[in-house]
Amino acid sequence: MNEQRIETNESPQIMIAECVGNVMVKSWRQTAVSIQGAAFTTEQNGLMRITSQDDLFLAVPEQSSISLGIVSGDVVIKHIRGGITGDDLQGDVTLNNVDAVQIDRVGQTLSAADLNGTLNVQHIAGSVALQRISEVKLGTVKGNAMLAYTNGTVDLQMVAGNLSLKSINGDVAVATASRDVLLQNMGGHNNLPAVQGDVWLVGSLRAGEQTFVAEGTIFVYWPEEAPLRLFATAPQIDNLLPLDYENKNEAGKQVILTGHIEEGKTSLTLKSAQRIALKALGLEAPQFSPNEFVVPQEPAGELEQQVQTAVHAVLAESATLERLEERLVTAVTAALTDIKIPEPESTPTAPDPAAAVSKPPPELYIVESTESRTHILALLRDGLISIAQADLLLEALAS
């Protein structure tokens, strides 16, 4: 490995025009630049220009400014205060304890922590993980994005993966989020007008306008003592928050919920194409499960219970009457089958008035049957006929 030491001032300008390999840059306390690599060239004319056909390792003064052209491998830069720019960084990029950064393209993942200036990247082909950044501006992020502990503003144009924002003190604007979004401990104004997945919001928000619009479900964990003025619109709204002046009504296929907690100056506008669910944030950590937002069914009122009891009683009585009717028909039919009316032996060719007067009517021959008596007594026992009716039937059988 070749090594070259070049004496400089405290804040040299260093340009790595091209590197076919990895680049690692870190600071040291000397006013010189140390370059190590298998094959590199340098030029100096007020600007130190370096090209390398292999991996490159630089030790530079802390106040150096670094400019990167095309790097085919990974880039790691640490403890540099003079600013960083990059054109086409095709591998992973790792930044730690640096100042302002501006990069056109990152070909893989971007990781950064403890940035004292603005991080501005136009295109990231992979995922992003950022912590303790003063200010963030990202164009297109093709993977997931995680940002935490940012004091300044966060401006994201498009995130294709999941987005996690935690402890962001500045304002947040996300033009498009293609998947789910998680927000915790947000201290600024938030504007997310186009979330295509679900939104999980944890904690109270700063006074002012706060807007979240999602194609999926919006889940809100809100401290019940935190002031709030709520405007929610969705096909389904499940609310477990203790809102004052709660008003819930339907407008076509949409449900509109309004209300407030105390005299809240935080105006929270929620719009979902599916569902909005809200609940109080307690001491227990959120489980981030839809099961936490199930609204318990209210018990039936006293009048409703009485109506239900009466309906059940009528249905039961109707069924009993049907069964009794069936038994009555069966019993009467069985009893009357024993009553026989014989046919006359012959029919006279011409009526005789005198004979008709003197001749008694045909006699009914009723055959007494033990089985018929049993049926009649069963009807009396079951209360289907009265005693008088039973006597009449028994008398008819005995005649």
Distance between CA 107 and CA 115 in Å, rounded? 21
What pLDDT, on a 0 to 100 scale, did the predictor assign at position 369?
A: 57
Alpha-carbon dihedral of residues 154, 155, 160, 166, nearest 10 degrees? 10
Write down the pLDDT at residue 215: 98
Burial of 49 (0-12, 13-18, 19+ CB in 10 A): middle
CB contact at 8 A, 365 and 339: no
- Please report, in tens digits, the pLDDT of each residue of the chain (399 residues total): 799 999 999 999 999 999 999 999 999 999 999 999 988 888 887 789 999 999 999 999 999 999 999 999 999 999 999 999 999 999 999 999 999 999 999 999 999 999 999 999 999 999 999 999 999 999 999 999 999 999 999 999 999 999 999 999 999 999 999 999 999 999 999 999 999 999 999 999 999 999 999 999 999 999 999 999 999 999 999 999 999 989 999 988 999 999 999 887 899 999 999 999 999 998 888 999 999 998 876 555 555 566 566 545 545 555 555 555 565 556 555 555 554 444 445 444 544 444 444 444 444 334 445 667 777 777 777 777 777 777 777 776 666
Alpha-carbon dihedral sign for residues 267, 268, 273, 279: negative
**Residue 368 has what pLDDT?**
45
What are the respective helix, strand and coil percentages of the chain, to the nearest 5? 15, 50, 35
d(CA 293, CA 239): 8
The pTM for the full model equals: 0.73
How many H-runs (helices) and E-runs (strands) does the chain carry?
4, 31
* Residues 207/190, Cβ–Cβ less than 8 Å: no
The pLDDT assigned to 298 comes to 58
* pLDDT given for residue 57 in this prediction: 98
